[in-house]
Structure 1
Amino acid sequence: MLLVLATAGITITLLLATAFFAYATDPWQRVFTQSSGAHVWIHTRAGTDAGSLAGLDEVRATAGPFRTVRATAGLQPGGARATLELRGTAQRPTTAAPQIVAGRWLDADTDAGATPGIVLDSSVARAMWAKPGDSLVLSGIAAHLRVVGVADTAEAGFRAGESPGAAWVLPATLAASDAGGDQRGRTIGLQLTDPADTDYVVQRAVTRLGADQITDVSTWRQAKAAAEGDNQLLGRLLGLFGLGALLAAALAVGGAISTRVRAHLRDISILKAIGFTPGQVVRMFLTLHLGFALGGVGLGALLTEGLGTLVPGRIGDAMALWRQLPEHAWLPWAISGGVVAFIGSATCLAAWRAGRVPPVPVARAVTATGGRATGLTRRALGLRIPPALVLGWRGAFHHPLRASAAVARLAVPLLLITIALGTWTTLDRFTSHPETVGLPAALTARSDTLGDRELHQLLTSGPGVTAYPGAEVQALVPGQTGTITLRGLGTEKHPYPFTVVEGRAAHGPDEAIAGQGLLDLLDARVGDWVRMTVAGDPHVLHLVGRTIETADGGRVVSTSLDTLRDGGTAGATSAGSPPPRPDFYHLVLSHGADPGVVRDALTKASAGRLEVREIPNPADQLTAVRAVALGLIAVLILIGLAELATTIGAGVRDRGRDLLALRAVGLTPRQITAVIVSATAFVTLAAALAGTALGLLVSEWLINLQGRTSGWGTGIAQDPAPAVLLLVVAVAVTVAATASLLPAARAARRRLADSAGAVL
């Protein structure tokens, strides 16, 4: 029963992992295909001839170029606000065509009146809680705009404080804006003949238009990575634990067959004596355990297919989406068949040993685990250590190879449990101590109406709130194949508390720290000097440290606001420098302060003139990992119990052959029971210590590997508390001792005449 339930859990885990991978990648791919999406988006200044990029040899089609205006939009009355990139277009584009999911597209006859229409990208619509029929007020446009539609695109979505949301209006609406020249521009989408030419096309575009004319570049790879987000991480976790649990189950099945073969040597010999061939004996064991595997796989597949869509949250959404994909017709069968085949292959070796049992039983010594006591054993007995413990230790490890195999099989599920606990603890670190994982600030605030001094006084008026001024600009990296975020936070007199995990904090006028994603992008290391271009002006910075950076895939360079304004060692022109006024303030709260309460208090104190947002914490989007970890731990416990049952059976059988010897030296049935229980406990203790110790190392390596590949950087892993690990070890040993108590008592009270037959 334990093996069947464990196999069902493994099957559910692997099926959910596959569904999450599809859930992570398919929505973006589906929108990109349906919309005939663009592989590269180039954002330029207003007077740039962006349309000339359509003549590049690698470009198959273009979207635009669109005239654009950046504006701050607010939902009326008193709703959320967001930065929009308004694109003027009279008709719906054919390349990179927005896919309407609510409402309709713009109509020149009905949306050009006193209340112009606007279509919002779905990502910014979700952020603003906007829907068709709502009214928006936009900076620079006197008239209120009515939301007539919401559309999906394959572009990188809206991120508060980082990238504006796309919106489409009629050209007349765009012309009515009184925005300045620095807020106007052009945007063109390039659809390439070969997506692999993305970086090369970006280089050619920068060469043709000039680096000082390009304000931002985004590619399909960035959009896809942003769309996958933490769903990809969930899929990886499920796949990793599912495969690990499958390995543990295969080891448990192999151990169970080997133990069963040793326990039934006489019965197998009798079968061969009456005419069974070795092949028939092997097929008998294979059939038995393949039946268990089929039962578990069938149960897991039925539960996943029948109840998967009913689970609330992203698990149910992932299963619902997966059912609509063509590969769903064969992937569940392939995964289920793979599980059965893997478990079957693990049973072949053990079943082959059953086929090699001779047809004539071979007598075994009554004291199979006997022999002369070692010096260590004699000294332990001389120290008046209870004989049950001494003999239990000796019996547990008298056969080194057999004991090592049992320890290894028990250690695998405990290792995976430790990894799951490490994942859980790391998420708790993000939630309870975000300042240690690169998130010292909980809120970001900005205002278009309050003066800088008035704004600063308002933000620092409350107790436990520290405000740090900041600004962000988009910079072209060396090679000009993409853009990164150049951020100035804090001042030299009042530095921002970055989480530096390598090197040191930036103090000098030309010093900066970078995220792992940027170091990988530039193939740079701490200590290097890097050059980047902001609106045509070069910025040269000395990277003195690496910080944990969860925003923008870690492709962020952070320095002080003073250094950002000065433009690094190269100097800066007025066009390349950020404005003297900070773009925003990051608010660091005292420990225990509720960000929601502080946000509401600041909004109320400013009479709605202040926009305050909570800084996204990756842990908020990974709540499903906790449920996943609990489910995986339950599956691993089942596998561990199945392996423990095998270990107990083997221990009871071996000690059963020693009953004559143990009673001959004067041990009572209670002491014999203690010998068997302690032998099982010692094996479990060795497995628990080995599994948790190795699990700590593997957990830290895997989590930091995930951090590095995601661009956040290493240093985010958090080990489980020692008390938790000791509890895992104590529970494992206690369960083993308790489970072996009744079989051991039965074996100890067996009549001597019954035990004599066990010598064969």
Structure 2
Amino acid sequence: MSALGRVVRAGVGRRRVQTVVIAMVVLLAVTAAVLGATLMVASNGPFDRAFDQQHGAHLTAEFDATKATLEQVAASAGAAGVTASAGPFPTTAISPESEGARHLQPITVVGRTDPGGRVDAVALTSGRWVSALGEIVVQGDPRMPPSMQPKVGDVLSLPDLPDKPSLTVVGVARSVSGTAGGWVTPAQVTALIPAGRSGGYQMLYRFASADTAAQIDADRAAIEGTVAAGAVAGMRSWLTTKAVSSGNTILLVPFLIAFGVLGVLMAVLIIGNVIAGAVSTGTRRIGILKALGFTPNQVVRAYTVQALIPASVGAVLGVVTGNVLAIPILAETNSIYGTADTGVTPWVDAVVLAGALAMVAVTAWAAASRAGRLRTVDVLAVGRTPGPGRGQWAARLAGRFPLPRPVTLGLAHPFARPLRTATIVMAIAFGAASATFAVGLSASLNEVQATERHGDVEITPGRQMSGPPPEGTPPGGEPGRVAMGPPEAPDPVAVVKAITAQAGTSGYSGVARSEVTVAGITEELDIVGFTGDNSAYGYRMISGSWLTGPGQIVVAKPFLTATHTTIGDSVVLTDHSTPITVRIVGEVFNSENKGLELLTDAATLMAAEPDLRPMEYNITLKPGTDAAAYVASLNTALTGAGATAEVTEDDTAEFIVIVDALAALLTLLLVTVAALGVLNMVVLETRERVHDLGVHKALGMTPRQTISMVVSSVIVTGLIGGAIGAPAGVLLQRLVIGEMGRVTGFSLPTSVVDVYRPAELVVFGLGGLLIAVVGSLLPAGWAARTRTATALRTE
């Protein structure tokens, strides 16, 4: 081994604290970077590849056949910016039932003679394309269980149409643009349109510029300008489709980027401080090395390599940790396209690993360059204690406080080396900011979860039982009765009478569910019809107002974006082949069905479904009401009504559990690293002042007083770091939660964004002091155990 190698090995072994600190900060930074980059690739990669391969449509437009002719729709392909188009294709909406009378959700069907074309080349995954009347190809959805999806050979009946026709599934396909729920021949579309009603036309476009929402808006305006006003029934952007397809993984990207940035900045600060401290404490050693013939460049390389060795270990562990954490999160994205190539990406690991080591090398080289500039004579002649006069003003000021002398001595220590103190203040600030950010983000997501709670008690249909139990019925089953099919809606008159008769009832709402289609959105949408006097409970309004009667709907921002509508606009819903015109009266935060669920008065749906009845009821209780006793009394009153009441349970979504777990883990790492940075600083301070420590001990300072002095030396840095970190954490939480809302297309209510109370911010600010004190305890104990004679001999 060369002389330089022996110096490096000795330095790594001797400075164990600094070695651990460097490894930990690099591990954290690389873990967050691998997670963020992997999820970013996973959330975009599969869709982008499929979109390019299938020539996906940047805009899918639906035209009203009563306001635009086939020729006028076809002429829209000549709009400014259009580079390719497909259509016009005839369209209509159907509400199919499969064998066994299983009701499927309504879908938009499009008439196409073949799956190919210049835009939206549909990919068949099984079966063949339609070639005759009575056939249909359905859109596959890998996010749904196979048992819930139609398959080749299934027969779909259409009981809402005259003569109750049926369609045989001859193929399953996948359109990356989501342009239809099914495809039939153009002639079949005409046969599926009820008498007295008109269908529509679909056009698919690709544009020269369609990468941003602003460009899409301009493209949309160009298309609308080619036809009469009102002819465009709806348009869907590929950006909306991409956001929905990316699933929850895209939500994690801004969250992990925030932690990654914190980790990188902390790594730069602490690694720079560690190397600068090593140079400072090794001044005499550097002089000896130069006296023995080491060149300035060799000295700098020695200290740089001493940082790179633990950094390499931390970087490798960080890559492994980041990939392990990414695997369960990527499971959802993998299932969306049925792919297995959206997991660990080797080039991401390589780029992050190389970037981390380059960052460490540059930071360490910059900090170690001072060692190369030191003159041999000068460094051999000086000790390690800071020069006289540095920080004396702070010592005099602290001495005026009515505090024990060891405490005032400790309070003045940080001012002797202000630059070093400033870096540790920032490290503590990052730790405090991480804790503040993580707690605030968790509170925001929990508030999002709370918006899904619409009552304290819920009523659901009772089980429908009939006949003797089959052979082999497990013990404990109800004697003489077996479960039969889906439950029926409970008697609404009996249920409402039972609810209103209970003394603890504050309000209630009945919930009836159905599915509809809307022009501009090819897939079916869930719609919730409310009865009762408290339907708004749990929902957070963004703008507009809640429902005041039938003919109105309240929607979330993704619906407004997908349909290019605003509050006050009217849209046409198709429910069981019946068109229903409704007006949008409010925007609400509602994450159900990716924000595409519609909320309305149950009477709105009665035109198409006169027998529609609520399947469940949500009840809010008066303050102080015993929920268990209320449920017991209500169940007695519901006897014979075909319904059962129970206390509403809060089920935390899996995504929120993942985010909370990741936030806790990454925050723990950041806080630990911040504490290690403090520990490193205190170790350096203690070693530099070891001779002064011996003098104090010789003058009678006890071990307990020594600990007080060392711990006091970090109080100022802890308080300042906490005071900076807590507000920074608040700003970061608001930035990240806002970005999460932006990438998913939601407007966020104030209750989700503003989650901090003043008292909590004070606690988070004091968290910086806690980090500093915890980091100083170990070197304080070492200083207390140092023997007086040993300390006095050290220079």
Question: Is TM-score (shorter-chain normalized) higher than 0.5?
Answer: yes
The one-letter code matched in structure 1 to 2:289 is L
Q: Which residue of 2 aligns with 1:278?
A: 296
* C-alpha deviation, 1:245, in angstroms: 0.8
Q: Say whether 1:415 aligns with 2:433.
A: yes
Q: Counterpart of 1:295 in structure 2: which amino acid?
A: V
User: Structure 2 residue aligned with 1:45, among 57, 64, 70?
Assistant: 64
Q: Does 1:349 align with 2:372?
A: no
Identify the residue that residue 499 of structure 1 maps to in structure 2: 540
- With 723-732 and 138-147 compared, the bigger mean Cα shift is at 723-732
In the aligned structure 2, how far is the partner of 1:211 from the partner of 1:488?
31
Provide the secondary structure at the position in 2 that maps to 1:242.
helix
Matches within 5 A, 1:117-516: 117-122=136-141, 129-133=148-152, 134-140=154-160, 142-143=164-165, 145-156=167-178, 166-170=181-185, 174=189, 177=192, 179-182=194-197, 184-192=199-207, 195=210, 199=217, 202-302=220-320, 311=328, 314=331, 317=334, 324=341, 328=345, 330-359=347-376, 360=378, 361-363=381-383, 364=385, 371=392, 377-381=398-402, 385-397=403-415, 399-434=417-452, 457=493, 460=496, 463=499, 465-467=508-510, 496=536, 499-500=540-541
Residue 695 (1) aligns with residue 711 (2): no
Check the 8 A contact 2:558/2:596 in 1, yes or no: yes
For residues 320 and 186 of structure 1, the distance between their equivalents in structure 2, rounded to whole angstroms, comes to 28
**Aligned length in residues:** 702
For 1:591-610, what aligned pairs fall within 5 Å after superposition? Answer: none
Contact 1:513 1:546 in 2 (8 A): yes
**What residue number does 2:680 align with?**
646
Do the aligned residues in 1 keep the contact of 2:401 with 2:408 (CA within 8 Å)?
yes
1:24–1:228 CA contact under 8 A, matched in 2: yes
Find the residue that maps to 2:95 and give its secondary structure.
strand
Other-structure match for 1:569: none
Give the match's secondary structure for 2:183. Answer: strand
1-structure distance, mates of 2:494, 2:652: 29
Provide the rounded CA distance (Å) in 1 between the counterparts of 2:185 and 2:562. Answer: 38
Distance 2:753 2:390 in 1: 45
Structure 1 gap ranges (5+): 158-164, 446-452, 477-481, 566-576, 609-613
Deviation (angstroms), 1:248: 0.9
CA offsets per residue over residues 96-116 of structure 1, 9 Å max, x none? 232223x3123547x84xxx5
Distance 1:588 1:277 in 2: 79
Alignment of 1:612-631 (within 5 A): 621=655, 623-631=657-665
Q: Which moved more, 1:251-260 or 1:46-55?
A: 46-55
Instruction: Give the deviation of 1:117 after TM superposition.
Output: 4.7
Equivalent residue of 1:590, what SS? strand
Distance 1:8 1:370, change over 3 A: closer
In structure 2, the residue matched to 1:667 is 701
- Quick one: which amino acid aligns to residue 87 of structure 1? V
Whether contact under 8 Å (1:72, 1:83) holds in the other structure is yes
Equivalent pair of 1:6/1:638 in contact (CA under 8 Å): no
Change (3 A) 1:555 1:132: closer
Decide which moves more: 317-326 or 700-709: 317-326
1:404-446 per-position Cα deviation (integer Å, ceiling 9, x unaligned): 332212221331232122222211122235469xx9999999x
> Residues 435 and 299 from structure 1, CA distance in 2 versus in 1: closer, same or farther, beyond 3 angstroms?
closer
1:24–1:231 CA contact under 8 A, matched in 2: yes
Alignment-mate amino acid for residue 206 of structure 1:
E
Whichever residue aligns with residue 120 of structure 2, its letter is A
CA offsets 1:699-740 (integer angstroms, 9 cap, x no match): 234323543563413522253678987887777756754554
Give the secondary structure class of the aligned counterpart of 2:443.
helix
For 1:4, which of 15, 23, 26 is the aligned residue?
23
Structure 2 residue aligned with 1:88: 111
CA 1:315 to 1:692, structure 2 compared with 1: closer, same or farther past 3 Å? farther
Percent identity of equivalent pairs:
22
> CA 1:128–1:316 in 2, change beyond 3 Å: closer, same or farther?
closer
Q: How far has the Cα of 1:251 moved from its partner?
A: 1.0
| Partner SS state of residue 358, structure 2 | helix
Q: CA RMSD in A?
A: 5.5
Q: Could you tell me how far 1:170 is from its partner in structure 2?
A: 4.3
Distance in structure 1 (CA, Å) of the matches to 2:354 and 2:627: 52
Q: Secondary structure at the match of 1:190?
A: strand
* Separation of aligned partners in 2, 1:314 and 1:153: 21
- Using the alignment, how far apart are the partners of 1:210 and 1:414 within structure 2? 58
Q: Distance in 2 between matches of 1:454 and 1:184?
A: 36
* CA distance in 2 between partners of 1:224 and 1:258 (Å): 48
Match of 2:469 in 1: none
* Aligned-partner residue type, residue 332 of structure 1: D
Q: Would you say 1:744 and 2:764 are equivalent positions? A: no
- Counterpart amino acid of 2:199? R
Give the whole-Å Cα distance in 2 for the aligned partners of 1:650 and 1:376: 24
> Is the 1:80–1:128 Cα contact (8 Å) retained in structure 2?
no
Alignment partner for residue 74 of structure 2, among 45, 51, 54?
A: 54
Q: Find the counterpart in structure 2 of residue 633 from structure 1.
A: 667
Compute the displacement of 1:185 (Å).
2.8
Using the TM superposition, give the Cα deviation of residue 119 of structure 1 relative to its aligned residue in structure 2, in angstroms: 1.9
Distance in 1 between residues matched to 2:640 and 2:223, nearest whole Å = 47
Amino acid at match of 1:590: T
Residues 14 and 238 in structure 1, CA contact (< 8 A), matched pair in contact too: yes
Q: In the TM superposition, what is the alpha-carbon distance from 1:44 to its structure 2 partner?
A: 2.6
Residues 365-423 of structure 1: per-residue CA shift (max 9 Å, x gap): 79887858867544534xxx444434333334555444333221222133123212222
Structure 1 distance, partners of 2:657, 2:738, is 19
The answer to whether residue 49 in structure 2 is matched with residue 30 in structure 1 is: yes
Q: Does 1:13 align with 2:54?
A: no
Offset of residue 493 of structure 1: 8.9
1:160 corresponds in structure 2 to none
TM-score, with normalisation over the residues of structure 2?
A: 0.71
Would the aligned equivalents of 2:138 and 2:172 in 1 still touch at CA under 8 Å?
yes
Separation of aligned partners in 2, 1:314 and 1:6: 28
- 1:660-739 alignment to 2 at 5 Å? 660-663=694-697, 665-680=699-714, 683-707=717-741, 710-713=745-748, 715=750, 716-719=752-755, 737=773
Q: What SS does structure 1 have at the residue aligned with 2:748?
A: coil
> Which residue does 1:479 correspond to in 2?
none
The answer to whether the aligner puts 1:590 opposite 2:605 as a matched pair is: no
| Change over 3 Å in CA distance of 1:493–1:645 after alignment to 2 | closer
Distance 1:373 1:690, change over 3 A: closer
Counterparts in 2 of 1:587 and 1:393: CA distance versus 1, 3 Å: farther
TM-superposed deviation, 1:190: 3.0
Q: 1:123 to 1:659 in 2, by over 3 A?
A: closer
Decide whether aligned partners of structure 1 residues 354 and 200 sit closer, same or farther in structure 2, where only a CA change above 3 A counts. closer
Paired residues of 1:468 and 1:587 also in contact (CA < 8 A): yes
2:562, 2:104 → 1: CA distance?
Answer: 32
Question: 2: CA distance between counterparts of 1:225 and 1:470?
Answer: 25
Q: CA deviation at 1:192?
A: 4.3
